[in-house]
Amino acid sequence: MVDSRVRIKDHWNEQRIFSQRTLGALVVVAVLVLVLIGRLVFLQVMRHDYYTELSQGNRVRLDPIPASRGLIFDRNGKVMADNEPAYQLELVREQVPDLNDTLNRLTALGLIDRDEVEDTRRIILSRRTFDSVPVRLRLTDEEIGAFAVHRYQFPGVDLATRQTRHYPLGQLAVHALGYVSAISVQDLEHIDRVTYAGTTLIGKLGVESAYERPLHGKNGYREILVNAQGRSVQREGAFAAELHSQAPIAGDDLVLSIDVATQQAAEDALGDHRGAVVAIDPANGDVLALVSKPGFDPAAFARGLSRSEYAALSDDIDKPLFNRALRGTYPSGSTIKPVIALAGLTYHVVDPSRQEFCAGVFHLPGSSRLFREGKGGKHGWVDLEHAIARSCDVYFYGLAATIGAEHIADFMAPFGYGALTGIDISGEKPGLLPSPEWKRKAFKRPEDQIWFPGETVNFGVGQGYLLVTPLQLAHVASVLAERGKSFQPRLVTGVRDIEGHLKAIAPVQLPAIDNVSDAAWDLVLRGMMGATTYGTAAAISKGASYLIAGKTGTAQVFSVGQNEKYVEKNVAERLRDHAWFIAFAPADAPRIAIAVLVENGGFGASAAAPIARRVMDAYLLHQSTAPAANVAVPESQASD
Amino acid sequence: MIDDFGYARTRRTLSSTAKLLSVLNLDGPLLVGLGLLALYGLAILYSASGQSLDTVLRTLVRIALGTAAMLALTHASPNLLRRLSPWIYVIGIALLLVVELTGVIGKGAQRWLNLGIVRFQPSEVMKLAVPMLAAWYLHDRPLPPDWRAMLMLAVIIFLPAGLVAMQPDLGTAALIAASGALLALMAGLSLRIVIVLVLLAVGGAFAGWHFLHDYQRERVLTFLNPQTDPLGAGYHIIQSQIALGSGGLFGKGWMHGSQAQLQFLPERSTDFIFAVVGEEFGLIGLILLLALYLFIVARALWLAMQTNDTYSRLLGLCIALTFFVYVFINAGMVSGLLPVVGVPLPLVSYGGTSVVTLLAGFGILMGLYSHRKLVGS
């Protein structure tokens, strides 16, 4: 029928092919749809949670809310550091009709520096159009006023506030408080970036740095809805319900041991001198005043210093950034004598009633070297008490030589010489307590490792290798005041959380000096009282209603040849001796121990002692004038 | 009786509707399926475009144009269409050449022909012109096609596909080739040859790698591993899967899909609108959508099978299956089964000439069905 070579259409066959193929196509379609649905079930049912989380992360950003930094109060509740709003000018590009015109008009108003217009414009253009870009930081009150008047002419430009640190007392106690400044690259290495998200300022020195953790508080956050470009979108209803926020928890307040009135008196008394004053309550180690001069303005750091401003501070020959109270190390001078006297009495190598003759020069047996009376002159016959009161070098040259360097160092160490006092802010220097053993370790060349007898002699009057900080000497004064009882100096006495619970920090008692007899204490303290009544510092007791025990000191900046005489007026100001004075009062029931250092001040009696008097007066006589209403929650009420 | 009266009225209404459909050469079930799909699509588009009424109105205009084309084409008899097929094909090729020479740059590729008021993609026309010519060619020939017919079919398919691929629009080229290939399959192409051709295609894909543009290679590579470039080329795939996955079983609700509304999902109202459905209406919404598509495809296949000349059957089956291929490629792309190729979701995605061509195709199909010769037993 059908020719096999000439194919013709076979409709029945075609019908069969179509039917089969259509059926096959339907099967394939069904299989593909099932594959698709399988895939959708996998995505939408099995991995639903995973993708929900991704979608949540897509649209929600955390906007940190910085916690406000804890406040700092003095012992009487006077505010030493708080927060205040700082105003800055911010611009949102997409809301500004004409950017160049706006910038020009802001410049005309003096709100943008003419030199900075180009930079500002570049910064604005580099950011997203909906970002609020700061165009001018730290506006003054006048500038805020100037802008407020013209505000309606500047759509898209507005004032923004942020919290900044404020020190209501200015430079007062800056070396104790420290300061805050912008978080630096170095800071980022040791802080938790999550904790600090949104925080702009961090404590840099002093209490602000040491107590950074409680002061900082806990930042909160606000979830904000953003679209794919990162623009915050406000949509009522649709997504708002899923957004959470967490309020920040403000940092804890600190209560310092500082007494602002005493601190102020100390700063005033030191005046324009370079130097340091540290006053301590000997009964518990509370630092009542901590002064290092010159100081600097901590507000400038919180605001942000320009490079040249910082250079001016750090290159200043008077080193205002240098904390002399903690980090300045000086020879102790004659302030060492009460301790040497105690050592002599404790080692029983001195008869306190025996008088030595001071002819102004000491001859060390077996040595040709002469050791001169520091101030020149001679004291004639002096016993131990008078040697302290009148600061007789010759007496102590001999006493030191008798005790021996090793014994002196052993006796002095418990007073805190050559070691950190452990004050609760960082940066403290240990100074140096020399001894023959120290010398063997410290020097490389064998000839340098030998301790010479002459070095022991100098040790007796606080010259030579011995180095102390003003803080250490204040601590020594407080140990003397308490007859051997010793407390670690501290600046912070309590931490108050935002609910007002004050957590008192207990004083830290250090091992007491218990090898000294009462008689020895009596004798030496009598010598120190003698110094302020008939001795070297007799002038400072004039008109005082309380008894003062003190000791002057003079630390040599450069050595005077053994046959020369130190004549103050011939020496350039910065080469003059440093003046020391340590004291405590009232001598019969001590409430304040103090060390004063006046760099290049000359003699301790004239330069340093009057300063100490003014500080003690402020603390002992005017203490009751502190406003009672401001008094912090008394420590006795502290619950935990 | 009231009941009888209501029943009678309903019957009268139904019968008059049937009469109207019959006069217009339309198929009721297919029309209902397309209508429901268009409504669903408009609802989604309103949400996906960020509540843009403008977008919805533009789409309505396109649907109206497509409906007009559909109504017109239902009246074309199979004989007329068959005779016109070669001319349509020739005109289509000519337009492709014009685009190639003078085409307006659109999205970095030359695809559009600017006709003053409307811009028009000649490659869309080829999606219909290729199966029409292929059906025309096979109409008088015995099936299954012999190797000479196969060769001719290959030329018919790959001439326009090659031109479109040069634009370069790989997606449309593949779809044109697919419509031709589907027709050949329905014509009874031996399955052994199919297997050989598939192997050849795979080999060709590896060889063709060299001829791909960088962005095309990137698409393939990121399809294979989207995480390598989460913000670049992989972004589309990752974001669409997040949209689908976070939609879950029931979806986040109409206009409440955060991926779509906050613009994390790129091309949300065009190529990736399938993900918006998945995000806002969930798996349920997608299954409903797929069911609509499946119904349309099944009805279209049934209509094609009822015709009784080779040209009508081949063209009808091809139109029905091509429609499914579009759906599958788009859904597969959005759900990460297939690489990202620019294929819109039929009748739902916004823009392009595709709404008009698709509805025109269904018009042709309904015309073929209503003009079938009723063969007596």
Phi, psi of B55 (to 5 degrees): -60, -40
Task: Report the candidate in A264, A278, A274 with the shortest Cα–Cα distance to residue A316.
Answer: A274
Structure confidence by residue, pLDDT tens digits, A36-55: 999 999 999 999 999 988 88
Residues A245 and A285 both lie in one domain:
no
Q: Is the pLDDT of residue A637 over 90?
A: no
Return d(Cα A406, Cα A354) in angstroms, integer: 24
Task: Report the candidate in B180, B172, B169, B160 with the shortest Cα–Cα distance to residue B97.
Answer: B160
Q: Does A32 touch chain B (CB under 8 A)?
A: yes
Please give, rounded to a whole number of angstroms, the shortest distance from the CA of A135 to a CA of chain B. Answer: 29
DSSP A170: T
Return d(Cα A24, Cα A18) in angstroms, integer: 10
Domain that holds residue A108: 63-256
Structure confidence by residue, pLDDT tens digits, A225-266: 887 777 777 665 556 556 788 888 999 999 999 999 999 999
Contact across the interface for B317 and A25, Cβ inside 8 Å: yes
Looking at residue A448, its pLDDT comes to 84
**Contacts with A58 from chain B: Cβ below 8 Å:** 239, 242, 258-259, 262, 264
Looking at residue A263, its pLDDT comes to 93
Looking at residue B103, its pLDDT comes to 55
pLDDT-derived band at A32, boundaries 50, 70, 90: very high
CA distances from B31 to A451, B26, B36, B37, B38 (A): 114, 7, 9, 10, 10
Residues A231 and A364 both lie in one domain:
no
**Contacts with B188 from chain A: Cβ below 8 Å:** 14, 17, 21
Residue with tokens 């302030």: A335
CATH number, domain containing residue A541: 3.40.710.10
pLDDT-derived band at A635, boundaries 50, 70, 90: very low
Task: Report the candidate in B161, B148, B169 with the shortest Cα–Cα distance to residue B89.
Answer: B161
CB-based contact B42:B60 (threshold 8 Å): yes
Each residue of A288-308: b (16+ CB within 10 Å) or e?
bbbbbbbbbbbbebbbebeee
Looking at residue A624, its pLDDT comes to 40
Mean pLDDT of the residues in chain A:
84
Contact across the interface for B248 and A44, Cβ inside 8 Å: yes
Q: Does A349 map to a domain?
A: yes
Residue with tokens 């199919």: B194
For residue A374 the two structure tokens come to: 């520091």
CB-based contact A592:A288 (threshold 8 Å): yes
Structure confidence by residue, pLDDT tens digits, A107-157: 888 888 887 788 888 888 877 777 778 787 778 888 888 888 888 888 888
- The number of beta carbons lying within 10 Å of the beta carbon of residue B92 is 23
| pLDDT tens series, chain B, 377 aa | 455 667 777 888 888 888 888 888 889 999 999 999 999 999 999 999 988 899 999 999 999 999 999 999 999 888 999 999 999 999 999 988 888 776 555 444 455 666 555 566 788 888 889 999 999 999 888 878 888 888 899 999 999 998 888 777 777 888 888 888 888 888 888 778 778 878 887 887 777 777 777 777 776 666 665 555 565 657 888 889 999 999 999 998 888 888 888 888 888 888 899 999 999 999 999 999 999 999 999 999 999 999 888 899 999 999 999 999 999 999 998 998 887 777 889 999 987 678 888 999 999 999 999 988 764 43
Q: Is the pLDDT of residue A565 over 80?
A: no
Structure confidence by residue, pLDDT tens digits, A600-618: 887 767 788 889 999 999 9
**Contacts with B264 from chain A: Cβ below 8 Å:** 55, 58-59, 227-228
Task: Report the candidate in A467, A611, A466, A600 with the shortest Cα–Cα distance to residue A550.
Answer: A611
Using CA coordinates, name the residue in chain A closest to B243.
Answer: A55
Q: Is the pLDDT of residue A625 over 50?
A: no
Assess whether the previous peptide bond of A446 is cis (omega < 30° from 0): no
Domain ranges of chain B: 41-370
Last residue of a domain, one of A256, A283, A300: A256
Give A 210-249 residues with CB within 8 A of chain B: 225-229, 233, 235, 238-239
Please give, rounded to a whole number of angstroms, the shortest distance from the CA of A225 to a CA of chain B. Answer: 9
Q: Does A407 map to a domain?
A: yes
Q: Which residue has the higher pLDDT, A359 or A38?
A: A38
Residues A208 and A268 both lie in one domain:
no
Catalytic residue, chosen from A334, A391, A541, A606, is A334
Contact across the interface for A37 and B287, Cβ inside 8 Å: yes
Q: Does A304 map to a domain?
A: yes
Q: Which of B185, B245, B336 sits opposite A44 (nearest CB)?
A: B245
Residues A130 and A273 both lie in one domain:
no
Task: Report the candidate in A570, A597, A569 with the shortest Cα–Cα distance to residue A583.
Answer: A597
Please give, rounded to a whole number of angstroms, the shortest distance from the CA of B329 to a CA of chain A. Answer: 10
Helix-, strand-, coil-residue percentages of chain B, each rounded to 5: 70, 5, 25
Q: Which residues contact B106 (CB under 8 A, 6 or more apart)?
A: B112, B119
Contact across the interface for A51 and B244, Cβ inside 8 Å: yes
pLDDT-derived band at A6, boundaries 50, 70, 90: low
For residue A558 the two structure tokens come to: 């450069």
Q: Does A52 map to a domain?
A: no
Return d(Cα A179, Cα A169) in angstroms, integer: 13
Residues A238 and A352 both lie in one domain:
no
Using CA coordinates, name the residue in chain B closest to A231.
Answer: B262
Residues A145 and A232 both lie in one domain:
yes
Give B 223-242 residues with CB within 8 A of chain A: 239, 241-242
Helical axes B354-370 vs B310-334, angle rounded to 10°? 150
Return d(Cα B195, Cα B187) in angstroms, integer: 16
Residues A108 and A126 both lie in one domain:
yes
Task: Report the candidate in B230, B247, B229 with the shortest Cα–Cα distance to residue B239.
Answer: B230
**Contacts with B301 from chain A: Cβ below 8 Å:** 22, 25-26
Q: Which residues contact A140 (CB under 8 A, 6 or more apart)?
A: none
Structure confidence by residue, pLDDT tens digits, A258-314: 999 999 999 999 988 899 999 999 999 999 999 998 898 888 887 777 677 788 888
Q: What angle (nearest 5°) sits at the alpha carbon of residue B226, between those of residues B225 and B230?
A: 140
Structure confidence by residue, pLDDT tens digits, A166-189: 899 989 999 999 998 877 777 777
Task: Report the candidate in A7, A242, A374, A55 with the shortest Cα–Cα distance to residue B259.
Answer: A55
- The number of beta carbons lying within 10 Å of the beta carbon of residue A477 is 31
Contact across the interface for B263 and A50, Cβ inside 8 Å: no
User: Hey, of A16, A19, A31, A33, which one would you mutate to test binding to chain B, going by the most B CBs within 10 A of its CB?
Assistant: A33
Looking at residue A636, its pLDDT comes to 36
DSSP A46: I
Contact across the interface for A33 and B248, Cβ inside 8 Å: no
Give B 61-120 residues with CB within 8 A of chain A: none
Q: Does A369 touch chain B (CB under 8 A)?
A: no
Q: Is the pLDDT of residue A528 over 50?
A: yes
Q: Is the pLDDT of residue A640 over 60?
A: no
Q: Is the pLDDT of residue A65 over 90?
A: no
Looking at residue B115, its pLDDT comes to 58
**Contacts with A241 from chain B: Cβ below 8 Å:** none
DSSP A44: I
Phi, psi of A590 (to 5 degrees): -65, 135
Return d(Cα A131, Cα A499) in angstroms, integer: 37
Contact across the interface for A55 and B259, Cβ inside 8 Å: yes
Residues A513 and A594 both lie in one domain:
yes
Return d(Cα A21, Cα A200) in angstroms, integer: 73
User: Hey, of B139, B141, B239, B262, which one would you mutate to test binding to chain A, going by the most A CBs within 10 A of its CB?
Assistant: B262
Q: Which of B249, B297, B331 sits opposite A44 (nearest CB)?
A: B249
Please give, rounded to a whole number of angstroms, the shortest distance from the CA of A45 to a CA of chain B. Answer: 6
Task: Report the candidate in A394, A377, A411 with the shortest Cα–Cα distance to residue A458.
Answer: A394
CB-based contact B184:B193 (threshold 8 Å): no
pLDDT-derived band at A548, boundaries 50, 70, 90: very high
Return d(Cα B1, Cα B9) in angstroms, integer: 12
Looking at residue A554, its pLDDT comes to 87
User: Hey, of B47, B237, B239, B244, which one would you mutate to test binding to chain A, going by the most A CBs within 10 A of its CB?
Assistant: B244
Each residue of A175-208: b (16+ CB within 10 Å) or e?
bbbbbbbebeeeeeeeeeeeebeebbbbbbbbbb
What Rg, from alpha-carbon coordinates, does chain A have? 37
Residue B368 CA, chain-centre distance (Å), reads 19
Q: Does A326 map to a domain?
A: yes
Structure confidence by residue, pLDDT tens digits, B212-251: 777 777 766 666 655 555 656 578 888 899 999 999 999 9
Helix (H) or strand (E) holding B147: helix B147-166
Contact across the interface for A14 and B141, Cβ inside 8 Å: no
B314: three-class secondary structure by DSSP: helix
CATH number, domain containing residue A181: 3.90.1310.10
Q: Does A406 map to a domain?
A: yes
Q: Which residues contact A305 (CB under 8 A, 6 or more apart)?
A: A181, A313
Identity of the residue numbered A568: E
Return d(Cα B176, Cα B92) in angstroms, integer: 12
Return d(Cα A478, Cα A484) in angstroms, integer: 9
Assess whether the previous peptide bond of A294 is cis (omega < 30° from 0): yes
Q: Does A421 map to a domain?
A: yes
Each residue of A385-397: b (16+ CB within 10 Å) or e?
bbbbbbbbbbbbb
> Stretch A313-318: mean pLDDT, rounded?
82
Q: Known catalytic residue: A308? A: no
**Contacts with B237 from chain A: Cβ below 8 Å:** none
Return d(Cα A565, Cα A571) in angstroms, integer: 11
Straight-line distance from the first to the last Cα atom of chain B, in angstroms, rounded to the nearest whole number: 43
Q: Does B301 touch chain A (CB under 8 A)?
A: yes
Q: Which of B143, B186, B246 sits opposite A55 (nearest CB)?
A: B246
Structure confidence by residue, pLDDT tens digits, A436-476: 989 888 888 888 888 888 889 888 888 889 999 999 999 99
Using CA coordinates, name the residue in chain A closest to B336.
Answer: A39
CB-based contact B357:B314 (threshold 8 Å): no
How many domains are contained in chain A? 2
> Stretch A83-97: mean pLDDT, rounded?
86
User: Hey, of A51, A225, A242, which one would you mutate to test binding to chain B, going by the most B CBs within 10 A of its CB?
Assistant: A51
> Residue B262, exposed/middle/buried by CB under 10 A (0-12, 13-18, 19+)?
buried
Looking at residue A35, its pLDDT comes to 95
Last residue of a domain, one of A226, A256, A286: A256
Contact across the interface for A48 and B262, Cβ inside 8 Å: no
Q: Is the pLDDT of residue A632 over 50?
A: no
Q: Does B321 touch chain A (CB under 8 A)?
A: yes
Looking at residue A374, its pLDDT comes to 75
Starting at the earlier edge strand, list the strands of the sheet with B109-114.
B104-106, B109-114, B119-120
Give B 179-218 residues with CB within 8 A of chain A: 185-188
Residues A234 and A275 both lie in one domain:
no
Contact across the interface for B290 and A225, Cβ inside 8 Å: no
Q: Does A25 map to a domain?
A: no
Residues A138 and A201 both lie in one domain:
yes
Q: Does A7 touch chain B (CB under 8 A)?
A: yes
